C-alpha cells in the first residue's frame, strides 16, 4: 500500500527534491497547501525544533504522516547568525525576506571580516512524524561546510547559495548542477540519512 | 580546560551513569539542583521534545552547557503507551508515580494480552545544548527491544526493568548487572552515540 506523506512546506523546489528521493521508496508526497493546511509560527530555538513544530502541526491538521524541514546558514564570524533566522535575515517585520536583500545584508555584516575568517555551514533538520502524538519522531540533522565569498556567483540553487563557497570545491553552491548539489548538500545528505532510517524502519 | 555540563535531572542513578561516561572525556557533571535550578514542565509530545525542553531550560538558568535525557517504555499492544507518560503512568494528579504502582498498572492493562503479543521497547532521547539559543542541539534517540513479562523479576535497575524481558537474553532488565545494562540499554547506547558525536565534534 502506498503511504502518503504531507510535506510541511510550500516550496516547490524542496517538494521536487523530496519527491525524487521518497517516491521510489513507495511514498506519495502531497504539499500541505494542496490540503488547505496553513503554516504554524516557527517559534523554535533550533532548526530541529522548528522542523518538529511544522511536522506535528501538519500531522494534526491532516491525520497523515508529515515531513518538515528547517534549514539555514550559520556564519562563525557572526557567532552563528543568521542561523534559524536565515530566511528572514533582512526582514524588518519578521516575515521572510528575499534572497537578494538577505545576501546583501550578509555581505555588509562581513565587510570587515578577512579571508580565512569567513567560514560558515549550512544546516538542515528534517522531522517525520506518523501521527500528531508520535512519541518518536524520526529526525536528522546534516551540515555542509563552506565560506562566505565577496560577491554573488552562480545562478543555481537559492538563498545564500551564490555566496556559499563550498569547501573542497572551487565554486559556490549556486554554481553546482542540481544533481550534484542534491548529493552533497546539507539537505541532500539529510534526506539520504532520513531515507536510510525509513528503509531500515529505525523509528 | 575542563568543560562543565549541567545535568537536567535530579536522578542520582542517571547522574552516576553520565559521570562514568563523560568525565573521562574531560567534562565535569553538575546536577541542576546543586545550582538551585528547578525543572520545567514536560509539555512535549515526544521523548526528544521533552529532552530539548529540559536542556534549554537548564542552559538558560545556568549559562552553561546542559544535558537532558527523557526516556520511557512503549508497549505495542497498548498502542505505544505508557510512552512519554511512563514515569507518571499510574499517577492521578500528573505527578510522577512510583515504580510499584506503574508496574502494577502495566500488568493489569496487559492481563488479556497473550504471550508473543507483549512486545515493547524502551526509548531514550538525549539533548545537549551549548547555550540557551543553541540552533543545533546535539540530539540522539536510542531504543531497546523487549517484552513485558507476567511478574516482577530482578532487583537491579529501576522503573519497568523488573517486567522488561530483554530480547535475546533470558532475563529481565532488572536481572542484568549495571555494567552490562549500561552497555546494551537504551540509555547506555544513547550515551555512547552522544559520546561519539562529542568526540568527533559533530554539532
The single residue of A69, A70, A99, A161 carrying the catalytic annotation is A70
User: How do residues B145-192 score in pLDDT, each as one tens digit?
Assistant: 999 999 999 999 889 999 999 999 999 999 999 889 988 999 999 999
Task: Give the per-residue pLDDT at B95.
Answer: 67
User: How do residues B52-96 score in pLDDT, each as one tens digit?
Assistant: 999 999 999 999 999 999 999 999 999 999 999 998 999 877 666
In terms of residues, how long is chain A?
A: 203
| B122 Cβ under 8 Å from any chain A Cβ | no
- C-alpha count within 13 angstroms, C-beta hemisphere, residue B138: 21
A97/A123 Cα distance (integer angstroms): 19
Chain B residues close to A143, C-beta within 8 Å: 136
Task: Give the per-residue pLDDT at B102.
Answer: 95
Residues 6+ apart with CB under 8 A from A192: A21
Task: Give the per-residue pLDDT at A69.
Answer: 94
Residues 6+ apart with CB under 8 A from A45: A84, B56, B132, B133, B134, B135
Nearest to B135 among A83, A132, A135 (CB): A83
Who wins on pLDDT, A92 or B119? B119
SS3 readout for chain A? CCEEEEECCCCHHHHHHHHHHHHHHCEEEEEHHHHCCCCCCCCCCCHHHHHHHHHHHHHHHHCCEEEEEEEEEEEHHHCCCEHHHHHHCCCCCCCCCCHHHHHHHHHHHCCCCCCCCCEEEEEEEEEEECCCCCCCCEEEEEEEEEEECCCCCCCCCCCCHHHEEECCCCCEHHHCCHHHHHHHCHHHHHHHHHHHHHHCCCC
User: How do residues B25-35 score in pLDDT, each as one tens digit?
Assistant: 889 999 999 99
Distance from CA of B149 to the nearest CA of A (A): 23
pLDDT (tens, 9 = 90+) of chain A, 203 residues, equals 578 999 998 777 788 878 888 888 889 999 999 999 999 999 999 999 999 999 999 999 999 999 999 999 999 999 999 999 998 999 877 666 689 999 999 999 999 999 999 999 999 999 999 999 999 999 999 999 999 999 999 999 889 999 999 999 999 999 999 889 988 999 999 999 998 888 877 76
Residue B134 appears among annotated catalytic residues? no
Task: Give the per-residue pLDDT at A95.
Answer: 67
Whether residue B32 contacts residue B6, with contact meaning beta carbons closer than 8 Å, is answered with yes
| CA-to-CA dists, residue B40 to A24, A56, B45, B61, B68, angstroms | 43, 21, 15, 11, 12
Please judge whether B139 and A74 are an interchain contact, meaning their C-beta atoms are less than 8 angstroms apart.
no
Of the candidates A130, A123, A17, the one whose C-alpha atom is nearest the C-alpha of residue A70 is A123
Q: Checking phi first, is residue B106 left (phi over 0); if not, alpha (psi -120 to 50) or beta?
A: alpha
Task: Give the per-residue pLDDT at A50.
Answer: 96
Who wins on pLDDT, B20 or A82? A82
| B80 Cβ under 8 Å from any chain A Cβ | yes
Task: Give the per-residue pLDDT at B1.
Answer: 55
Task: Give the per-residue pLDDT at B38.
Answer: 94
Burial of A80 (0-12, 13-18, 19+ CB in 10 A): buried
Task: Give the per-residue pLDDT at A199.
Answer: 82
| A52 Cβ under 8 Å from any chain B Cβ | yes
| CA-to-CA dists, residue B79 to A131, A139, B20, B113, angstroms | 12, 21, 35, 13
User: Best of A49, A76, A136 to disrupt the B interface by mutation (most B CBs within 10 Å)?
Assistant: A136
Whether residue B64 contacts residue B42, with contact meaning beta carbons closer than 8 Å, is answered with no
A197/B189 Cα distance (integer angstroms): 17
Report chain B's mean pLDDT, rounded to a whole number.
92
| A163 phi, psi to nearest 5 deg | -100, -10
| A74 Cβ under 8 Å from any chain B Cβ | yes
pLDDT beyond 90 at B101:
yes
B138: which 3 cell numbers? 546535539
ipTM of the complex model: 0.75
Amino acid at each position: 500500500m502506498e503511504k502518503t506523506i504531507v510535506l510541511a512546506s510550500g516550496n516547490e523546489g524542496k517538494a521536487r527534491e523530496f519527491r525524487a528521493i521518497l517516491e521510489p521508496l513507495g511514498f506519495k508526497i502531497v504539499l500541505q497547501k494542496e490540503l488547505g493546511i496553513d503554516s504554524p509560527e516557527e517559534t523554535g530555538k533550533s532548526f530541529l525544533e522548528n522542523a518538529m513544530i511544522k511536522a506535528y502541526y501538519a500531522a494534526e491538521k491532516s491525520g497523515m504522516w508529515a515531513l518538515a524541514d528547517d534549514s539555514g546558514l550559520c556564519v562563525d564570524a557572526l557567532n552563528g547568525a543568521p542561523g534559524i533566522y536565515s530566511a528572514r535575515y533582512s526582514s524588518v517585520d519578521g516575515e521572510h525576506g528575499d534572497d537578494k536583500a538577505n545576501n546583501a545584508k550578509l555581505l555588509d555584516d562581513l565587510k570587515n571580516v578577512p579571508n580565512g575568517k569567513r567560514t560558515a555551514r549550512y544546516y538542515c533538520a528534517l522531522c517525520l512524524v506518523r501521527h500528531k502524538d508520535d512519541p518518536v519522531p524520526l529526525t536528522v540533522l546534516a551540515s555542509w561546510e563552506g565560506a562566505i565569498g565577496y560577491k554573488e556567483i552562480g545562478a543555481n540553487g537559492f538563498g545564500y547559495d551564490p555566496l556559499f563557497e563550498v569547501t573542497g570545491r572551487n565554486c559556490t553552491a549556486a554554481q553546482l548542477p542540481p544533481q550534484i548539489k542534491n548529493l552533497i548538500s546539507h539537505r541532500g545528505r539529510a534526506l539520504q540519512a532520513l531515507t536510510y532510517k525509513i528503509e531500515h524502519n529505525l523509528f
